[in-house]
Amino acid sequence: MGVPLRTAVAALCAGLVATFLTTEPARADPREHTWTVSGPGAHQPAARIRLDDTTGAVSLSVTRGGRTVIEPSPVGIVTEQADLSKDLRFLDRKDRRIDERYRTRSGKRLDRRVRMNETRLSFATSTGARLDLVVRASADGVAYRYVLPGGHGDVLGETSAFHLPADAPAWLGTYRVDNEGQFVRYTAAGAPTGEYSDQALFETNGGYTLLAESDLSGAYSGARLAHTQGTGTYRIELADDRIDTDGPLATPWRAMITGDLATVTRSTLTDDLAPESKVPDTSWIRPGTVLWTWLAGGREAGQSLAAQKAYVDYAAERNWPYEAVDAGWYYKPGAWETVDPDWQTNSWMPELVRYARAKGVGIVVWIHQRELDTPEERDRWLPTLERWGVEGVKIDFMNSEAQPMLRWYDTVLAETAAHHLMVDFHGSTIPKGIQRTWPHVMTLEGVAGEEKRTNTAAHLTTLPFTRNVIGSMDFTPGAFHRVGLRPNSDAAEVGLTVAYESGLQMFAGTPQSYDQRPLARAYFDQVPAAWDDTRLLAGRPGEEAVLARRGGDRWFIGGVYAGAARTAEVPLDIGAGRWLVETIEDGADGLVRRRQVLRGGDTFAVDVVAGGGFASLACRWRPGITTCHR
Catalytic residues: 396, 451
Alpha-carbon span 200 to 54, nearest angstrom: 32
Fill in the DSSP letter of residue 54.
Answer: T
Q: What is the CA radius of gyration of the chain?
A: 25
Alpha-carbon span 331 to 393, nearest angstrom: 16
3 state SS of 135: strand
Alpha helix segments (H runs only) across 21-132: none
Q: In Å, how far from its chain's centre is CA 358? A: 34
Question: Residue 475: enclosing H or E segment and its boundaries?
Answer: none
Alpha-carbon span 179 to 523, nearest angstrom: 30
3 state SS of 563: coil
CA nearest neighbour of 514 among 530, 497, 501, 499: 497
Which of 530-556 are b and which e, b meaning 16 or more Cβ less than 10 Å from the residue's Cβ?
Answer: bbbbbbbbbbebbbbbbbbbbbeebbb
Identity of the amino acid at 300: E
For 605, other C-beta atoms within 10 Å of its C-beta total 12
Write the CA distances from 361 to 48, 179, 520, 523, 525, integer angstroms: 53, 31, 21, 19, 14
For 358, other C-beta atoms within 10 Å of its C-beta total 10
3 state SS of 306: helix
Alpha-carbon span 62 to 290, nearest angstrom: 41
Alpha-carbon span 507 to 37, nearest angstrom: 44
Which CB contacts under 8 angstroms, 24+ apart, belong to 124-130?
Answer: 124/88, 124/89, 124/91, 125/56, 125/82, 125/83, 125/84, 125/87, 125/88, 125/89, 126/87, 126/89, 127/82, 129/79, 129/81, 129/82, 129/84
Q: Which residues pair with 395 in a beta bridge?
A: 367, 425
Instruction: Output the CA torsion sign for 332, 335, 339, 341.
Output: negative
Contact of 548 with 579, CB cutoff 8 Å: no
Q: Which residues pair with 255 in a beta bridge?
A: 143, 212
Instruction: Output the CA torsion sign for 274, 276, 280, 282.
Output: positive
- Residue 257 class from Cβ within 10 Å (0-12 exposed, 13-18 middle, 19+ buried)? buried
Alpha-carbon span 407 to 171, nearest angstrom: 30
